[in-house]
Amino acid sequence: MADPAPDPALRDQTLADIGEFGLISRIDELVARLAPGEQVLVGPGDDAAVLRVRNGHVVVSTDVMVEGRHFRREWVDAVDVGHRAAAQNLSDINAMGGRATWLTVGLAAPKDLPAQWALDFTRGFAEECASVGAGLVGGDLTSADQVVISVTVLGGCTVSPVLRSGARPGDVVALAGRQGWAAGGLAVLGRGFRSPRVLVDAYRRPEPPYDAGPAAADAGATSMIDVSDGLLADALHVARASGVVIDVDTAAFEVPEPLQAVAAATNSDPLGLILGGGDDHCLLATFPADVALPDGWRAVGIVREPGADGPTVIVDGAAYEGPTGWTHF
């Protein structure tokens, strides 16, 4: 969907100026530009959407983004916030081995938020949905002291969903997508800089490997997870759910030059950005050792039997003392 020019009529208007129903009508105009698909029987405008469900498994996930906690408006523009909000939800369906089909979004915002911001957010959200053939079918709008975004996504799996609990000793641990780039961008922005631009852009607008989840499921992946909070932190979810030890091999990672530059400028270890960074929304999965990894996947470790410490994550065969990822509380 091409970016339209900002509406001149909204240039100086806030949400309080345009009003709830005025904003909703303009959002509906944006959403209507996307083909909803034959499965959408009733889209935005009623109390609820009505969808025709195909045979198979229905997969549902919900995520929340809070201004100041998950993004800052001075760092990320409204279109990119929309892309990020959609991407993190689409990636959850991807991590189950499925494909997203429909999303709803709730937006709470201050009354003095520029109305154009809300419309730009909607456009970015809809663009990201359209990139995987998913549709925005409804939502809600209310006021709040800061921007809060709540998204629910529905999708389907043509094969059995891939859970976090299926990893077994001897499985290969593999990764699809880039990792550590968004963390590098966040480190740069946090210090008041805007370069390397490629890392800042990676933070502002992630690029999840949307085809990798279904490909992994078709290949027989035993477990899978979306890496949103940090590689080691999310690997620990798999280890605990599966009752295993996940051993990550740092030699499997090539550290790209932009991450090396950020690490040098911040006097930090570039591997820390890879092992502890989140927000790239790559996928981590385990596969039986005799299974050929699908295109786009690379081996980064192995699954081991639990020892005295029980299910956990180790790095290069030993406990890891560095940061493992984001914590919400």
On whether the CB atoms of residues 148 and 59 are closer than 8 A, the answer is no
For residues 35-46, give the mean pLDDT: 61
- SS3 assignment, position 46: strand
Across 228-251, b (16+ Cβ under 10 Å) vs e yields bbbbbbbbbbbbbbbebbbbbeee
pLDDT tens track for 187-224: 999 988 888 999 999 999 999 999 999 999 999 999 99
User: Which are the contacts of 78, defined by CB distance < 8 A and separation ≥ 6?
Assistant: 116, 117, 118, 119, 120, 121, 124
> At the topology level of CATH, where does 164-315 sit?
Phosphoribosyl-aminoimidazole Synthetase; Chain A, domain 2 (3.90.650)
pLDDT computed for residue 289 by the predictor: 97
Q: Which of 10, 307, 16 is nearest to 141 (CA)?
A: 16
Task: Tell me the per-residue pLDDT of 227-285, one tens digit each, with 9 for 90 and over.
Answer: 999 999 999 999 999 999 999 999 999 999 999 999 998 888 899 999 999 999 999 99
User: Residue 256 is encoded by which pair of tokens?
Assistant: 């790209």
- Between residues 83 and 4, which one has the greater pLDDT? 83
pLDDT, position 213: 96
Q: Per the annotation, where are the binding residues?
A: 47, 61-63, 70, 92, 139-140, 164, 226, 228-229, 279, 326
Percent of the chain with pLDDT over 70: 88
Report residue 144 as tokens. Answer: 């709040």
Q: What is the pTM of this model?
A: 0.85
| Annotated binding-site ranges for ATP | 139-140, 164, 228
Chosen CATH of 19-157 out of 2.40.40.20, 3.90.230.10, 3.30.420.130, 3.30.1330.10 = 3.30.1330.10
Q: Which strand (E) or helix (H) includes residue 70?
A: none
CB 93 within 8 A of CB 134: no
Q: What residues does each domain of the chain span?
A: 19-157, 164-315
Q: Is 47 a residue whose pLDDT tops 70?
A: no
pLDDT in tens, 291-327: 999 999 999 999 999 999 999 999 999 999 888 887 6
- DSSP-derived letter for residue 317 is T
Give the whole-angstrom CA distance, residue 136 versus residue 130.
9
Q: 170, 289, 301: which is closest to 219 by C-alpha?
A: 289
Mean pLDDT score across all residues of the chain: 89
Express each pLDDT in 120-175 by its tens digit.
999 999 999 999 999 998 889 999 999 999 999 998 888 888 999 999 999 999 99
pLDDT at 1 over 50: no
Binding site for substrate, by residue number, is: 70, 279, 326
pLDDT at 196: 93
pLDDT at 13: 82
Binding residues for Mg(2+): 47, 61-63, 92, 140, 226, 229
